[in-house]
Amino acid sequence: MEEVQAKPLFPDGDATSTAKMRHVLQKVAVEIKHTPHQNQAALLGLQAYLYQLKGQTREALQSLKDAEEQERKDEQQTSAAGALIIYGNYAWIHYLRASYQEAESYLERIQQLCPAPWDARLVPYIQAQKGWSLLAIRARNGERARECFEVALMLEPGNRYFHAGLGMALYSSWSYFWYPDIARKAIIQLERTVLEQPSNYRAKIRLAKLLEQVDIERSISLIEESAEKSSDPDVLKASALFCLRRSTERAIEILQRALQQDPGYHLLYQALAKSYKVQWLNAKKEDKNNILEAAIKDLKQILQKHPDLDLVFVKLQLAEFYGARDPAQEEKIYKELQERKDTLSPKGHQALNLYWGKFFLYKKKSLEEAKAKFMDGYKIPVLTEQRKECAQRLIKMTRYCHSDDADAIHRFIQDTNRHLPTEFSGTNLD
């Protein structure tokens, strides 16, 4: 029998894809623990798939057992749709282990559960599971997830969990494309969700973000409620970043509370490092040195305590803090990260170029070296704030250089944009 290869979720096939997979596994584990809103089975199935890709078969099988247990608690049609996916994953894992008899038995169970022709009532639940999985992987899957939930709602328009999924998908799509009409649709769906599911704090924190420009009082109220009542580290992280603009002390307090509950969640440390920077920048002159020393001490301890976590952004922030005292120590960290750039995610590599470019610009006063780093960051085709800042800094350089050099920068940006993946079309890069 010819060996079946699963379609890779992370196609890079190198250390970068391993870093992405580890990142998604951490996010999925947090979401499974904190979001009991009918996406559990889908997320556990995704978790099993990721574990199997990493060769962790025991963990993959345990995730599927947990998914089966979750499905027993759900309504009949949800359970049947989830079982199809769970049994399919079981069959795939046993096949990869060369346990062909077990794989065949799960295929037979699928046949018994859903003999041809397929039960059309299962389609909306299968679409919803696909939508939840897409959202868990990355933000730019928002449009694909939206299509899944819209199909599900066409077939079962009154299902509140499908509406919740659609709201999340629309928010994800808006956070990537920034279209006002998507924001309006997302607000409608999320308002419905928070009314029907008062403890769905992920929906509340996304609604708060959408309302920030149109109803700031309601936005702040949702943020404060989420920060006080939720134990979800992703919700607490988002709440802290909202609070950062008004009170760095409040933001840091929220993040430290979240870290007490989940000290292995790398994104919390990233947010904490950002909070320290804002606190330092906004501090009075007489307080700056003490804040700098405390931030350096804490970030060093975090890196020493968690060498297994992906903390590239924490290292970059520590480097910037070091640079306030000793630029050579700052550049040493950039060179160390560059030596293992193959292990960095595209977003991490982008950020390294941005930070290093600013170092050349402000510490070494080298426009050419800074320009080269900003260009390297902009060439990486991932839509992030770091990429946007690389473009902004390149454009700003055109105001202070010769016309030929300015024209070359503009041509570089235009040529780079022409070769972007199709998924970038329609997005506002700058």
Residue 257 CA to residue 275 CA, distance in Å, equals: 14
Instruction: Name the percent of the chain lying above pLDDT 90.
Output: 63
Q: pLDDT tier at 82 (50, 70, 90 boundaries)?
A: confident
Question: SS in 3 state form for the chain?
Answer: CCCCCCCCCCCCCCHHHHHHHHHHHHHHHHHHHHCCCCCHHHHHHHHHHHHHHCCCHHHHHHHHHHHHHHHHCCCHHHHHHHHHHHHHHHHHHHHHCCCHHHHHHHHHHHHHHCCCCCCHHHHHHHHHHHHHHHHHHCHHHHHHHHHHHHHHHHHCCCCHHHHHHHHHHHHHHHHHHCCHHHHHHHHHHHHHHHHHCCCCHHHHHHHHHHHCCCCHHHHHHHHHHHHHHCCCHHHHHHHHHHHCCCCHHHHHHHHHHHHHHCCCCHHHHHHHHHHHHHHHHHCCHHHHHHHHHHHHHHHHHHHHHCCCCCCHHHHHHHHHHHHCCCHHHHHHHHHHHHHCHHHCCHHHHHHHHHHHHHHHHHCCCCHHHHHHHHHHHHHCCCCCHHHHHHHHHHHHHCCCCCHHHHHHHHHHHHHHHHCCCHHHCCCCCC
Question: What token pair was written down for 105?
Answer: 């038995």
Q: Mean pLDDT throughout 111-120?
A: 68
Q: Mean pLDDT throughout 351-371?
A: 96
Instruction: Name the percent of the chain lying above pLDDT 70.
Output: 90
Least confident of 28-32, 94-98, 259-263, 317-321: 94-98
Q: pLDDT tier at 407 (50, 70, 90 boundaries)?
A: very high
Q: Which residues contact 366 (CB under 8 A, 6 or more apart)?
A: 360
- pLDDT value of residue 83: 80
Q: Mean pLDDT throughout 66-80?
A: 70
- pLDDT value of residue 425: 47
**CB of 46 closer than 8 Å to CB of 88:** no
Residue 295 CA to residue 325 CA, distance in Å, equals: 13
Specify the higher pLDDT residue, 4 or 324.
Answer: 324
Residue 399 CA to residue 119 CA, distance in Å, equals: 64
Q: Mean pLDDT throughout 154-178?
A: 93
In the predicted structure, residue 18 carries a pLDDT above the cut 90: no
CA separation, residue 277 to residues 319, 350, 396, 407 (Å): 12, 19, 23, 35
Specify the higher pLDDT residue, 375 or 91.
Answer: 375
pLDDT digits (tens, 9 = 90+) for 179-196: 889 999 999 999 999 999
- Name the burial class of residue 246, with classes exposed (0-12), middle (13-18) and buried (19+) by CB atoms within 10 angstroms of its CB: exposed
- pLDDT value of residue 119: 65
- Name the burial class of residue 2, with classes exposed (0-12), middle (13-18) and buried (19+) by CB atoms within 10 angstroms of its CB: exposed
Q: pLDDT tier at 74 (50, 70, 90 boundaries)?
A: low
- pLDDT value of residue 121: 75
Closest alpha carbon to 164 in 210, 197, 142: 197
Question: What token pair was written down for 110?
Answer: 């699928």
Mean per-residue pLDDT over the chain, rounded: 88
Q: Mean pLDDT throughout 230-241?
A: 96
In the predicted structure, residue 85 carries a pLDDT above the cut 80: no
Question: Is the omega angle on the peptide bond into residue 115 within 30 degrees of 0, that is, cis?
Answer: no
- pLDDT value of residue 423: 57
**CB of 289 closer than 8 Å to CB of 324:** no
Report angle CA 23, 26, 27 to the nearest 5 degrees. Answer: 85
- pLDDT value of residue 88: 84
User: b vs e for 40-61, b when ≥16 Cβ sit within 10 Å of the residue's Cβ?
Assistant: bbbbbbbbbbbbbbeeeeeebb
Long-range residue pairs from 421-424, CB within 8 A, at least 24 positions apart, any chain = 421/381, 423/140, 424/381, 424/383
Q: Mean pLDDT throughout 217-221?
A: 96
Least confident of 99-108, 278-287, 365-374, 418-427: 418-427
- pLDDT value of residue 95: 86
Residue 23 CA to residue 379 CA, distance in Å, equals: 23
Least confident of 15-19, 121-125, 142-146: 15-19
In the predicted structure, residue 22 carries a pLDDT above the cut 90: no
Q: Mean pLDDT throughout 77-100?
A: 79
Q: Mean pLDDT throughout 339-352?
A: 91
